[in-house]
Amino acid sequence: MADVVSNVTDSGMPSQRPSGTRHPPRRQWPWAALAQQAAAIALVAVAITYLGANITRNLAANGMTGGFGFLWQEAGFAMSFSLIDMSESSTYGRVFLAGVLNTLFIAGLSLVTATILGLIVGFARVSAARPLSLAATVYVEALRNVPMLLILIFVQTVVLRSLPVVREAISIGDAVYVSNRGVYFPWPEAGQDLRLAFGAASAGCLCLAAAWVLRPRTPVLKRRDLAGVFAGMLLGVILLGAAVAQVDWQRPDFQGFDFRGGAKMMPEFAALLLALTLYNAAFIAEIVRAGLQSVDRGQIEAARALGLRDGFIQRRIVLPQALRLMVPPLTNQYVHLIKASSLATVVGFPDLVAVFLGTSLNQTGRAIEIVMMTAAVYLTLCLWLGALSAAWNARVSLKGR
């Protein structure tokens, strides 16, 4: 006997349906979770509304107004260091721009120097030379466990102030002079020759980069390939040499009580750069060491058994695999470096925090607008760096199923 169930439809005709068949389940909406999310959003909106109304009421009670119109007002102060032209008649908006550029400059330069030093110390930590490994370990353990603010103050008050006075400045090749007032070095003179030299240098760098990228990677090199690579490198070197020879360099010359001509690295800038480099390089070195030691020793031994050189093994086998594990923690350290650059206000370097969140805030009293703009700059930089890291990490990570 068939296992069926007879049903009667609206038309009176019987229909048969297997007893084991079930209707597809209806979609159950998570009403409880949706209600909780809606309540949380409403609570945040109410809090923001209340905070905004309270701020507006307090500003009105004190006879103050909000807005960003102050950015077009004259600042009335100059900056000791700026990548753009600044004077006492500059507006607060230009002060903000100069502060952002100074922050980007010191953070970007420190990021490069800390990475280079961290790579060197990281490779030294895994070196077979015991004295070198011990020295790198002492450096890492000492710098990682000391506050960066203490390192910054030590560099400024002890290291830089122990340098000789400007009359007795240390001369390096009669071109660079180091004293407690800063570092003086030659600088190209602005003009038509400088623009031509910059164009020649750019073309030379492009030729060198093209020769490196297009170099043959096969074990057997043809004479035609070698000639092309050599021609590209030779052209790049010639263009770079012509660029250097064409520039009229201003050399620092001691006159009166200070050097004239050339360029000067402020002691505040040097202290901040040195502190950021030394402190963050210790953490980067530990990240590099962990990444290098994560590579299987069997691969290194197999490469040595094939007769490959140690430098080639580290560059082609170990480092590419270690990068997959190094990128995420390196990003966190770079973000920390960007935020730590705000300590420039301690040594008097005019970064964004010093000139905008400090001097401009004291003169205008626009705390809300200035704090929001400053926070937005650091938030944008950190998020942008995180996005670049995520893209790079997705490119170098192993692709699974």
Which tens digit of pLDDT belongs to each residue from 129-140? 899 999 999 999
Contact 56, 48 (CB under 8 A): no
Mean pLDDT of 330-346: 93
Question: What is the share, in percent, of the chain residues with pLDDT greater than 70?
Answer: 76
pLDDT at 392: 82
Say whether 78 sits in a helix, a strand or coil.
coil
- For residue 276, the model assigns a pLDDT of 96
Which position has the higher pLDDT, 3 or 376?
376
Return the pLDDT at 372: 92
Averaged over 89-113, what is the pLDDT? 94
334: buried, middle or exposed (CB in 10 Å: 19+, 13-18, 0-12)? buried
Say if strands 182-185 and 176-179 run parallel, antiparallel, or are unpaired: antiparallel
- Section 249-272 average pLDDT: 84
3-state helix, strand, coil in the chain (%, to 5): 65, 10, 25
DSSP state of 23: P
Tell me what the mean pLDDT of segment 117-128 comes to.
92
User: Virtual CA dihedral for 205, 208, 210, 214, nearest 10 degrees?
Assistant: -160
Q: Which residue has the tokens 């004239």?
A: 260
Q: Summarize the confidence of residues 242-256 as an average pLDDT.
A: 72
Nearest Cα neighbor of 286 from 135, 122, 399, 128 is 122
pLDDT for the residue numbered 182: 86
With beta carbons less than 8 A apart as the criterion, state whether 226 and 234 touch. no
Amino acid at 82: S
pLDDT tens by residue, 34-62: 888 899 999 999 998 988 888 888 877 87
Q: Containing H/E element for 4? A: strand 4-8
Report pLDDT for 193: 57
| Rounded Cα gap, residues 72 and 78, in angstroms | 16
Residue 168: what pLDDT? 84
Report pLDDT for 4: 46
* Contacts (Cβ under 8 Å, ≥6 apart) of 194: 188, 247, 248
- Assigned CATH class of 92-167+267-396: mainly alpha
pLDDT tens readout for residues 175-231:
888 888 888 888 777 555 556 666 666 666 666 666 666 655 554 445 555 566 566
Q: Dig out the tokens for 8 from the structure.
A: 């009667």
**Prediction pTM value:** 0.78
* Confidence (pLDDT) at 254: 81
- Give whichever of 276-285, 299-308, 344-353 has the largest mean pLDDT: 276-285
Cα–Cα–Cα angle for 199, 203, 207, rounded to 5 degrees: 170
pLDDT at 400 over 70: no
CA angle 53, 59, 64 (to 5 degrees): 145
| Mean pLDDT over each residue of the chain, to the nearest integer | 82
User: 87-91, 208-212, 365-369: which range is least confident on average?
Assistant: 208-212
Residues 6+ apart with CB under 8 A from 75: 88, 90, 91, 92, 94, 95, 360, 363
The residue ranking higher by pLDDT, 11 or 287, is 287
The Cα–Cα gap between 362 and 90 comes to 17
Give the span between the Cα atoms of 292 and 119, in whole angstroms. Answer: 11
**Per-residue pLDDT, 1:** 43
In the predicted model, is pLDDT for residue 13 greater than 60? Answer: no
CB 208: neighbour CB atoms within 10 A?
18
* Phi, psi for residue 58 in degrees, rounded to 5: -70, -40
Give domain limits for the chain: 35-65, 92-167+267-396
Q: Which two tokens stand for residue 363?
A: 């003169």
Residue 206 token pair: 């492009």
pLDDT > 90: what percent of the chain? 37
According to the model, what pLDDT value does residue 6 have? 47
Parallel, antiparallel or unpaired: strands 249-250 and 187-188: antiparallel
Distance CA 375, CA 380 (A): 8
**Tokens 């002079």 belong to which residue?**
177
Sorted by sequence, the CB contacts under 8 Å of residue 237 that are 6+ apart come out as: 204, 208
